[in-house]
Amino acid sequence: MYLFMSFSQDDNGPGDQALRLKDRRCRPAPPLISSRAVPEAHAPAWRPAGSVRIGGTAARSRAFPSEQRRSRMALKAQPINCTLKRSDGEGSSTDAMIALLAEELTSRGVEVAPTLRMADHDILPGVSSDEGPGDAWPRLRQTILEADILVFGTPIWLGQASSIAKRVLERMDAFLEKTDDQGRMPSYSKAAIVAIVGNEDGAHAVTAQLFQALNDVGWTIPAVGACYWVGDAMGSTDFRDLKEPPEAVRKTARITASNAVHLAGRLKTSPYPG
């Protein structure tokens, strides 16, 4: 669960309960899921020096002391990229924004899984958990739900989230019918943050759409739950073409990641009762 701010905990608070959970480990993603790394040629030009690649994103291997206790809870983040481009095609600016968030999450001890490029998978239309033969969604759904934080990335097209992003949200609608005995959806007690890029206006509108939809199907949104960049109106510069991300975007990524880690950690040790 994910996005900005750091905090400290009292010795006798929930943080100590988290320490006792340090041996808990998240299950690995199913081996049949295709989650190709972004080719080096598609990596943003400002990829941090001394960084390591995590699922096609760049992430520095530094850690903040104030985050070390929460990192022992083995939080896991699952990025998804809803670009319209397949992995073997043109580079994706959405991947570049996901990379920025992955760097901040990793620095706080979060395991960032390989990014799932949704265009690489045949997600059939529908609102059920499994639409039958050939549907890639059941395995993608399983992988997404194994994480504590969802990083939902989308470009802006015609002032809206991509059609693939909408397809993913429509398939998550099935969460409403998949509740436990306490009425909790499988996405309960998990955090979600969003990564948005575009070369026109529309970031606020897309953020509003995604926040409402994700919350409707059970995800919890932290404060400052979106990190976005938009270029000049009628311009041609993409986020991945920038020499360096703007400082305001970097600052937002730090706050978003910190808040997401804080929220996900709290929800993991104290889930919603239902």
Is the confidence at residue 39, as pLDDT, over 60?
no
Write down the pTM of the prediction: 0.77
**DSSP class of 20:** T
According to DSSP, the residues that pair with 196 across neighbouring strands are: 154, 228
Average model confidence (pLDDT) for the chain?
A: 82
Is the confidence at residue 159, as pLDDT, over 70?
yes
Task: Read off the pLDDT band of 88 (50, 70, 90).
Answer: confident
Q: Are 60 and 106 in contact (CB under 8 A)?
A: yes
CA distances from 152 to 162, 169, 267 (A): 12, 10, 19
- Give me the amino acid identity at 198: G
258 CB-contact burial (10 Å; exposed 0-12 / middle 13-18 / buried 19+) = buried
Give the strand pairing for 226-230 and 51-54.
unpaired
CA 29 and chain centroid, separation: 15
pLDDT at 227: 98
Average pLDDT over residues 31-50: 42
CA 166 and chain centroid, separation: 16
Least confident of 22-31, 218-227, 238-247: 22-31
Task: Read off the pLDDT band of 52 (50, 70, 90).
Answer: very low
Is the confidence at residue 129, as pLDDT, over 90?
yes
